[in-house]
């Protein structure tokens, strides 16, 4: 991680550059699981002469779950907010083979993410991510305009992002904890491609 101080119009913040990594089963393990690409041992189906195998990533949700298709435009690679979910495993699955960058920090019991453990991953469009409950993350960054990503999450988390649940630039619900890390910690994480 490289650190430098930059002044932004609304506040002074330390910019921390994160080298972007390709996710592997091992490097993504502290945050969740790869969905697609290489997988742990898969079980053969009882049909099709074992030409079909299945693997079920860990997925947790205790209530109404949504499948949402998001279309992303490129935006500055600057992490101002990080969020986590307490009640479900959130999933990001790319469509059309388009890449995206995910910035992640491991789950913790603290009020804010441990930015010393934050990492940036380049998903090449061939596999997605199923995050562990509580993993701190920023919404994926598109590298190509009109990148579509399927997001699986609890409806309660989505409601926490609506205007009536945003307080002082942060989003809250019983399953959403979205914090402005730039304001609270004076840091902006910047993935470096």
Q: What is the CATH number of the domain that holds 166?
A: 2.60.120.480
Domain membership flag for residue 11: no
Domain membership flag for residue 190: no
The pLDDT value recorded for residue 47 is 65
Q: Model pTM?
A: 0.82
Domain membership flag for residue 192: no
Domain membership flag for residue 1: no
Domain membership flag for residue 3: no
Dump pLDDT digits (tens) for 81-108.
Answer: 999 999 999 999 999 999 999 999 999 9
Q: For residue 26, what are the domain limits?
A: 20-38+47-180
Dump pLDDT digits (tens) for 10-30.
Answer: 667 899 999 999 999 899 999
Q: How many domains does the chain have?
A: 1
Long-range contact pairs involving 35-38 (C-beta distance under 8 Å, separation at least 24): 35/91, 35/93, 35/127, 35/128, 35/129, 35/130, 36/93, 36/126, 36/127, 36/128, 37/126, 37/127
Domain membership flag for residue 124: yes
Domain membership flag for residue 123: yes
Rounded to whole angstroms, how far apart are CA atoms 119 and 105?
6
């Amino acid at each position: 991680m490289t650190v430098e101080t930059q002044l932004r119009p609304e506040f002074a913040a330390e910019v921390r550059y994160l080298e972007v990594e390709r996710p592997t089963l091992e490097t993504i393990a502290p945050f969740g699981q790869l969905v697609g690409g290489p997988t742990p041992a898969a079980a053969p189906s009882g049909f099709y002469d074992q030409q079909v195998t299945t693997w079920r990533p860990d997925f947790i949700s205790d209530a109404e779950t949504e499948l949402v298709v998001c279309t992303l435009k490129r935006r500055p690679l600057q992490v101002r907010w990080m969020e986590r979910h307490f009640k479900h495993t959130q999933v990001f699955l790319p469509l059309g083979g388009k890449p995206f960058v995910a910035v992640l920090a491991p789950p913790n019991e603290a009020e804010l993410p441990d930015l010393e453990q934050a990492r940036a991953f380049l998903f090449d469009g061939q596999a997605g991510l199923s995050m562990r409950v509580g993993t701190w993350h920023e919404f994926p960054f598109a590298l190509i305009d009109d990148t579509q990503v399927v997001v699986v999450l609890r409806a309660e988390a989505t409601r926490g992002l609506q205007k009536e649940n945003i307080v002082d630039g942060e989003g809250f619900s019983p399953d959403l904890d979205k914090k402005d890390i730039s304001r609270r910690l004076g840091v902006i994480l910047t993935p470096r491609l």
